[in-house]
C-alpha cells in the first residue's frame, strides 16, 4: 500500500504518515478521515509517497478519502505552508483557518450541491385549467415553464409546501445544478466622475493587471477611496474575473455590500463570522466555482479558494482587527500581499491613516504610493478646536463650550457625533466611605458597571457578577459609579437634549443580529440627532448629516507605555474626526483634554496625520523599533507568576548569545493577571528578519522537551501588535 503524509488539526509541529488502500486514488489537498489515538480526525493530504521513516507495519490505514479532487489548490497550499513557517504555527491548525467548519467536520461536498427544479413530462402536459383549485400551484407551474430554476430562486417567490405538492404529484422533478462562473451584465448604476488624483490611482492599478504589484492608497477621509475601488474592479468583472475585498470589522460589511451591489449586476457575497456554517460553505463553493464575482469579508476571507482572483483590496489597512490575536496569530494584510504574489495580481491597501509599516514599505519602494489629498466632494477637511478642560465648567463629562456648540448644530437641524471609547455605564463602582473599587477577581483590572444589564463585567476575561449591595471592604452601602461610559453619557445626553433622539453605537447596543443595520438606518435619516459610540464609529462609516464631532476624552492614551500608542491615537483621532463634514456643510471637531499643549495633539491639529506619521516613522528609525526592526513576542501564562518568569528566562539565556538579536525582558505584561493567570513577556528584536526566524526555528523544537513547558501556557506572536 502507498504511503501518504497528512496534516491534522492538532497543536503539534509535525505531520503523520498513513497507508492508502491500493484501489483508492487521492491528490494533494484532498481531505481524508484517519485514526488518531482513540478517535478519528479529518486531515488534509500534504504529501504523496513521502520518504517515511516508519515501517509499513507501523502505519495505520486511512479510514476514508472524502473527495477525489483537492479542496485546497496548489496556490492555497503554498500560502498556508508559508504562513505556518513564517508565524511558526502548526500547519494542521493553519489549515483549520482555511476550511469552513462543515469541511473540517468531514461533511461531503456532494451534500451541498445546488438543486434545481424542472417540469416532468406530466407537468409539461398540464394546462392552466388543471390548477384552477390552487392559484399558488398555478403560479409555480407557470414559473417552471421557463425552464430549470435553482431552488434558492424558486423558494424566494414560492412556498416550499407548494413545491412539495407538485413533487408529490410527479409534475416537478429535482436535478443537480453545476455552479457556473458568473455572467457580467454591466453596471447597475453609473460610475461617478473621478478627481484627477482618483483617476491617476485607478490608472496605476489597472496598468498593473496581470502582475504582482502592491499599492498603498493614502487618501484623506472622504477622498473617495471606495469609488477608486469600484472603478478598478469594473473592467475585471467585464472579463469574468474575481475580486476580494477585506474589511477589518463585520460592522462595515452590510453598507459595503450594499454599495457594491448597487453598482454592479454581479453576485456580491459576504464572508464573516456571523454567517451560519451553511452560509459560509455556500460562499466558499461559489468562490471556488467562479459563481461569486466579488467577495467582501473579514480576515479569514483571505483563504477562500478563488477560481480566477485578479485583484485584492484591503480597506482600512491600518486597523488592528486585521491581526488575529489568539491561536494562529496571522496578519491578514501581510498574508494578503503574499497571496497576491502567488496569484500574480495587484493588491491595493487603502487608508486615510496608513500604518507605519505600510508607509515604511512605500518609502523603501516596495509599494507604489497613490495619494488622494482632497475630499472628493471638494469640501474642506474639518477644523479642530482644543477644549482645555482646566478652564471649563463641566456637565456630565462635557465642557460648557462643547454643550453650546452641540446645541447650535442641533438647532440647525444637523447631527452631532460624540466619541467615548469606554462602553458600559462606568469603569468601576467605588465605596464613598473608604474608596474601595470593584475589581475582577481573576484579572488585574476593575469591573465595568453595566447599568442596563444590572451587572459588573470584566472586559478582559468576560467574567460577570451581580451588582454588590455593600462595599467589599467596609460594608458600607454607599456605592457610586466612578468615571463615565457610553451608557451613562447616553442618559445624560437625553437629560441635556430631551427633544433630540440619541443613537448609541457600541458592542452592547449592536449585539443582536441586525441591530447595527437598524441603527445605521436611523443615523442616515436627515434631522437633528446625537450619535454616541466607541471606536466602532471610526471604522469608515459615512454619516452625511454629521457636522460636529466631540471627542469626549482624548487623554486616556496620551501617556501609554506602548510604543505604538501615539500612532494608534493619531489614527483614531483622524478617523473619528473624518466623520464630520462629509455632506454639504463644513465639519468641526472638538477635542476635550487636560493637556492641550501635548505635542501629539498639536501635530495632528496643525499638520495632519500624514505629517505626524512621517515624524513618528523617523522616531522609530532613530529608536530602532518596528517597522525598522522586526519583533517577535513570547507570552507565558501560569497560575504562579514565577513559573512564567523562569520559563522566559530560560529562552532569554539561550538567545542572549545571538549577536543578531536584542532582547527585552522577561517582564510582566501591562495587564499582569488575566482570567486567573499571571502573564509575562519576552520581546525579541532584530534588524535582520532571516536571523530572527532562524533563531526561532532552532529554538521551538526544544521548547516542548522542557519539563517547565508543561506547567506554562505559552504563545509566540510574530510581528506582534498588541503588547498588553
First to last CA, the chain: 52
Which of 458, 460, 456 is closest to 468 using CA atoms?
456
Q: What is the DSSP letter of 630?
A: E
How far from 706 is each of 91, 640, 645, 663, CA to CA, in Å?
Answer: 22, 17, 14, 21
What 123-130 contacts at long range (C-beta under 8 Å, 24+ apart), as own/partner pairs, is 123/166, 123/170, 123/171, 123/172, 126/171
d(CA 42, CA 10): 11
Is 30 marked as a binding-site residue?
Answer: no
Is 434 marked as a binding-site residue?
Answer: yes
DSSP secondary structure of 651-669: HHHHHTT-TT-EEEEEEEE
- Phi, psi (rounded to 5 degrees) for 635: -115, 140
**H or E segment and range at residue 74:** helix 74-86
Q: Name the CA dihedral angle for 232, 235, 241, 246, rounded to a multiple of 10 degrees.
A: 20
How far is CA 78 from its chain centroid? 23
Cell numbers found for residue 349: 491597501
How far is CA 273 from its chain centroid? 9
d(CA 301, CA 280): 10
CA angle 386, 427, 578 (to 5 degrees): 35
Q: Contact at 8 Å (CB) between 87 and 329?
A: yes
DSSP secondary structure of 242-311: EEEEE-S-GGGHHHHHHHHHHHBSS-EEEE-TTS-HHHHHHHHHHHHHT--SEEEESGGGGG---SSEEE
Is 126 marked as a binding-site residue?
Answer: no
DSSP secondary structure of 171-192: SEEEEEE---------BSSPPP
Which residues belong to the annotated binding site? 431, 434, 440, 443, 458, 461, 471, 474
Residue list for the binding site for Zn(2+): 431, 434, 440, 443, 458, 461, 471, 474
Amino acid at each position: 500500500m502507498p504511503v501518504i503524509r497528512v496534516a491534522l488539526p492538532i497543536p503539534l509541529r509535525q505531520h503523520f504518515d498513513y497507508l492508502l488502500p491500493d484501489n483508492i486514488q487521492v491528490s494533494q489537498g484532498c481531505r481524508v478521515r484517519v485514526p488518531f489515538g482513540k478517535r478519528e480526525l479529518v486531515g488534509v493530504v500534504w504529501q504523496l509517497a513521502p520518504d517515511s521513516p516508519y515501517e509499513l507495519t507501523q502505519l495505520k490505514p486511512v479510514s476514508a478519502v472524502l473527495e477525489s479532487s483537492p479542496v485546497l489548490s496548489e496556490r492555497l497550499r503554498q500560502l498556508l505552508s508559508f504562513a505556518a513557517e513564517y508565524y511558526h504555527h502548526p500547519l494542521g491548525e493553519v489549515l483549520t483557518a482555511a476550511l469552513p467548519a462543515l469541511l473540517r467536520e468531514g461533511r461531503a461536498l456532494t451534500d451541498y450541491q445546488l438543486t434545481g427544479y424542472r417540469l416532468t413530462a406530466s407537468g409539461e402536459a398540464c394546462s392552466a385549467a388543471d390548477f384552477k383549485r390552487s392559484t399558488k400551484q398555478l403560479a409555480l407551474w407557470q414559473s417552471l415553464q421557463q425552464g430549470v430554476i435553482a431552488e434558492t430562486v424558486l423558494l424566494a417567490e414560492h412556498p416550499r409546501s407548494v413545491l412539495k405538492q407538485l413533487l408529490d404529484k410527479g409534475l416537478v422533478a429535482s436535478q443537480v445544478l453545476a455552479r457556473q462562473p458568473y455572467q457580467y451584465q454591466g453596471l447597475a448604476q453609473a460610475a461617478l466622475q473621478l478627481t484627477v488624483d482618483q483617476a491617476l490611482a485607478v490608472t496605476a492599478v489597472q496598468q498593473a493587471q496581470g502582475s504582482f504589484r502592491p499599492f498603498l492608497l493614502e487618501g484623506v477621509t472622504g477622498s473617495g477611496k471606495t469609488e477608486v475601488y469600484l472603478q478598478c474592479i469594473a473592467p475585471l468583472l467585464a472579463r469574468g474575473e474575481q475580486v476580494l475585498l477585506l474589511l477589518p470589522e463585520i460592522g462595515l460589511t452590510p453598507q459595503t455590500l450594499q454599495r457594491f451591489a448597487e453598482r454592479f449586476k454581479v453576485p456580491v457575497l459576504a464572508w464573516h463570522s456571523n454567517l451560519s456554517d451553511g452560509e459560509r460553505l455556500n460562499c466558499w463553493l461559489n468562490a471556488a466555482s467562479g459563481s461569486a464575482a466579488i467577495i467582501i469579508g473579514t480576515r479569514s476571507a483571505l483563504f477562500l479558494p478563488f477560481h480566477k482572483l485578479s485583484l485584492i483590496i484591503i480597506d482600512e489597512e491600518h486597523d488592528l482587527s486585521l491581526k488575529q490575536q489568539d491561536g494562529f496569530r496571522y496578519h491578514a494584510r501581510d498574508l494578503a500581499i503574499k497571496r497576491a504574489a502567488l496569484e500574480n495580481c495587484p493588491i491595493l491597501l487603502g487608508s486615510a491613516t496608513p500604518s507605519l509599516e505600510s508607509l515604511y514599505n512605500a518609502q523603501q519602494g516596495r509599494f507604489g504610493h497613490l495619494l488622494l489629498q482632497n475630499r472628493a466632494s471638494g469640501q474642506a477637511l474639518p477644523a479642530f478646536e482644543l477644549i482645555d478642560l482646566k478652564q471649563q465648567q463641566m456637565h456630565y463629562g462635557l465642557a460648557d463650550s462643547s454643550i453650546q456648540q452641540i446645541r447650535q448644530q442641533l438647532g440647525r437641524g444637523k447631527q452631532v457625533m460624540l466619541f467615548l471609547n469606554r462602553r458600559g455605564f462606568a469603569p468601576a463602582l467605588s465605596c464613598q466611605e473608604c474608596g474601595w473599587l470593584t475589581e475582577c477577581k481573576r484579572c488585574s483590572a476593575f469591573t465595568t458597571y453595566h447599568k442596563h444589564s444590572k451587572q459588573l463585567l470584566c472586559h478582559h476575561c468576560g467574567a460577570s457578577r451581580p451588582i454588590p449591595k455593600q462595599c467589599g471592604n467596609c460594608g458600607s452601602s454607599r456605592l457610586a459609579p466612578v468615571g463615565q461610559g457610553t451608557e451613562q453619557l447616553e442618559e445624560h445626553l437625553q437629560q441635556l437634549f430631551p427633544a433630540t433622539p440619541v443613537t448609541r453605537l457600541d458592542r452592547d447596543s449592536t449585539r443582536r443580529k441586525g441591530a447595527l443595520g437598524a441603527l445605521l438606518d436611523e443615523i442616515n435619516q436627515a434631522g437633528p440627532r446625537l450619535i454616541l459610540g466607541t471606536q466602532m464609529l471610526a471604522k469608515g462609516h459615512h454619516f452625511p448629516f454629521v457636522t460636529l464631532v466631540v471627542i469626549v476624552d482624548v487623554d486616556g492614551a496620551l501617556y501609554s507605555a506602548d510604543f505604538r500608542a501615539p500612532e494608534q491615537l493619531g489614527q483614531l483621532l483622524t478617523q473619528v474626526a473624518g466623520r464630520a463634514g462629509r455632506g454639504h456643510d463644513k465639519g468641526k471637531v472638538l477635542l476635550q483634554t487636560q493637556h492641550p499643549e501635548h505635542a501629539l495633539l498639536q501635530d495632528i491639529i496643525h499638520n495632519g496625520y500624514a505629517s505626524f506619521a512621517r515624524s513618528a516613522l523617523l522616531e522609530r528609525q532613530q529608536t530602532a523599533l518596528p517597522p525598522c526592526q522586526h519583533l517577535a513576542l513570547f507570552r507565558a501564562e501560569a497560575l504562579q507568576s514565577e513559573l512564567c518568569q523562569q520559563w522566559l528566562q530560560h529562552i532569554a539565556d539561550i538567545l542572549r548569545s545571538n549577536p543578531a538579536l536584542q532582547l527585552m525582558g522577561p517582564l510582566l505584561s501591562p495587564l499582569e493577571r488575566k482570567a486567573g493567570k499571571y502573564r509575562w513577556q519576552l520581546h525579541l528584536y532584530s534588524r535582520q528578519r532571516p536571523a530572527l526566524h532562524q533563531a526561532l526555528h532552532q529554538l521551538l523544537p526544544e521548547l516542548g522537551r522542557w519539563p517547565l513547558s508543561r506547567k506554562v501556557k505559552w504563545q509566540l506572536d510574530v510581528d506582534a501588535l498588541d503588547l498588553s
